[in-house]
Structure 1
Amino acid sequence: MRSPGHSPTILPNGARDGRDMRWEAHRTRRRRQLVEAALKAIRKHGAGVGMDEIAATAGTSKTVLYRHLGDRSGLYHAVVASVDETILADLAAARESGEDVVSRIAAMVSSYLHMVERDPAIYRFVMTRPLETTEGDPSDPIRQITGHIGEQLTQVLHEHLSRTGRVAEADLLAPVWGHGIVGLVRSAADHWLTRTTSTPILTVDDVTRAVVALIRPALDHQAPAPDQPKT
């Protein structure tokens, strides 16, 4: 078997060698299996899970993990990419479930919070950056996740603002509100997860209603009707 880092064989006609394509497919499939094992280990052992525990869950060795995922930072990036894909798929479905902008955004907020409630250990793992990753870095995986969510919200808001006669404001307000809602919900989720016994017990619906109550007045605002010409 060829080593993982070998160069692909290019045939005279420019096509890839069939063995290279099969090996690449094998690596992709194996990497996906290891990421699924990592998610399972995180759920069992918590956000501080070690590579030994992940390898044991996968039924393999740390050497195999390192070969396919790299070090812990590489594992972290692979897990975040998988979580990002899941979140975006859930949000895409949620944004189509509402009849108006408020209900669509409420569905997206609820979908995100249900993910946090369902997988708190995964959420904590994702939000705990490895030492090699710093907040604000363009390649920061967390920034990429929140950016993708913000873009989905921005699109929903831009469509709403344009449809309600606020075209001139849409380019400014939609991205500010969209990414602002992401920050609001993320902070609310962090507070929700770290609540103490003295903190009121809130459900996903409670938090969603609170977020919607804050943004609804801005979304319900209609652009003023144009001045009628004097007769």
Structure 2
Amino acid sequence: MKPRDRRASRWDAHRRSRRAELTDAAIAAIRAHGAGVGMDDVAAQAATSKTVVYRHFTDRTQLYVAVCARVAEHLLGQVRAAMDAATGPRGKAAAGIEAYLRLIEHDPEVYRFVVHRAPAAGPVTDLVSLIGDEAAEIIAEQLRRVGLDPAPAVPWGHGVVGLVRAAADNWIARPAGMTRTQLATHITDLAWAGLSGVVAPQKEDK
């Protein structure tokens, strides 16, 4: 195969860099204008034209995927760090749940964009699915550790994330004076009541 011209490779790096800059601008525009942000808002935030934005993102779906990937990378890093710092299966579950809620509390419009503004058409990987996959991996690891079949980890992981999302969506719409930590504790109590019987020895249920 003929090697690519170095100039073409340089343009690849430039395009990746420019897409990253425009993704950052999109996130800033979402924070400023809300989850219903338009391409005009993104272009204005990036101090460029909408034509330039469309040169790198052919439609809103491509922009959504880029923003979702950036948010997911950040959130997954926060979830993993919080769980690594916690002790015991229940403590790790609580830490992961609170890390998810922290994103919502600190960046509500970005959360609404990646969770509730997904394009109606096109196969995209949304934030909740990515977090569900991560939860499934953690549950599967725990199941193997106690000598159990890891097969149920996928529905359990996505089920737990669905529980967290539903409770979080209600909280962001109707907080009713409940703090993030209080909500995390309530969700953990409910989720762990089911998980503790299947992913951890009885002595770790406390």
**TM-superposition CA deviations, 1:155-196 (whole Å, max 9, x none):** 22233333345x14x422x2232111100011111111111x
Secondary structure of the residue that 1:215 maps to in structure 2? helix
Aligned to 1:140: 124
Q: 1:46, 1:92 → 2: CA distance?
A: 28
The equivalent of 2:134 in structure 1 is: 152
Aligned alpha-carbon RMSD (Å): 2.0
Cα contact 1:48–1:125 (8 A) shared by 2 = yes
- 1:60 paired residue among 31, 48, 68: 48
Of Structure 1 and Structure 2, the greater helix share is in 2
1:136 is aligned to: none
Within 1, Cα distance between the matches of 2:130 and 2:63? 21
C-alpha distance 72-157 of structure 1, shift in aligned 2 (>3 A): closer
Structure 1 unmatched runs, 5+? 1-12, 134-138, 225-231
Larger Rg: 1
Q: In 2 relative to 1, CA 128–17 (structure 1 residues): closer, same or farther, beyond 3 Å? A: same
Q: Which runs of 5+ in 2 are unaligned?
A: none
Give TM-score, length-normalised by structure 2: 0.87
Instruction: Classify the secondary structure of the residue corresponding to 1:130.
Output: coil
- Please state whether the residue corresponding to 1:132 is helix, strand or coil: coil
Higher relative contact order (CA 8 A, sep 6+): 2
Q: By how many angstroms is 1:30 displaced?
A: 0.4
Q: Deviation at 1:95?
A: 2.5
- Name segments (4+ residues, structure 1) moved above 6 Å: none
Structure 2 CA distance, aligned partners of 1:191 and 1:217? 21
> Identity of aligned pairs, percent?
42
- Show the counterpart of 2:151: 171
Distance 1:29 1:105, change over 3 A: same
User: Is the deviation greater in 66-75 or in 34-43?
Assistant: 66-75
- Report the alpha carbon displacement of residue 26 of structure 1 after superposing the two structures with TM: 0.2
When the two structures are superposed, what TM-score results if normalisation uses the length of structure 1? 0.79
